[in-house]
Amino acid sequence: MQVKEVLKLKGNTLFSATPDMHLSEAVISMADNDIGSVVVIEGGKLVGMLTFREVLGVMAKRQKERRVGKTPPIAEIKVIDAMQTNPFTADPDMDVDLLRSQMVKLHCRYVPVLEGDTLQGVISFHDVAKSVLEEKSFENRMLKAYIKDWPEKEE
């Protein structure tokens, strides 16, 4: 199975933010849409990825800095201050098993899919797991049907 097949199954809804957007706006969008990430787009190009992991990291850093009295107001934090730049990306023709192993190795839950410079979508680890499960279930049903219809030996 290829990444492009997973994208077809999950649909093409894509949520994005800009680097100069307030982090709070991006977080509200993520919460309202029940998503764990947004792609960060500038000038029509992917420039980063924002997930709840980065948001939590910024909040933890802010809390530590607050103890020593040098923290900006939370309303001033921008997406660019939290986003991951140069995220790992996948190609639509990439094999899902390879993608899965890279996601585990790199400890990433969300991967933008690029065809050249064009963003095709974002695949989550959940999307990958669901696709693999459905594929294995289909194969299992086909094997069971094949075995069930196996011709009996004539004696």
129-155 mean pLDDT: 71
The CA distance from 131 to 137, in Å, is: 10
The CA distance from 49 to 37, in Å, is: 7
The CA distance from 72 to 40, in Å, is: 22
- Confidence band for 138, pLDDT divided at 50, 70 and 90: low
The CA distance from 50 to 16, in Å, is: 9
Among 12, 49, 9, 15, CA closest to 30: 15
Q: Is pLDDT at 66 greater than 90 in this prediction?
A: no
- The structural domains of the chain, with segments of one domain joined by +, span 3-148
Q: What is the pTM of this model?
A: 0.79
CATH number of 3-148: 3.10.580.10
Among 83, 99, 108, CA closest to 18: 83
* Residues forming a β-bridge with 85: 48
Reduced to 3 states, what is the DSSP secondary structure of residue 105? helix
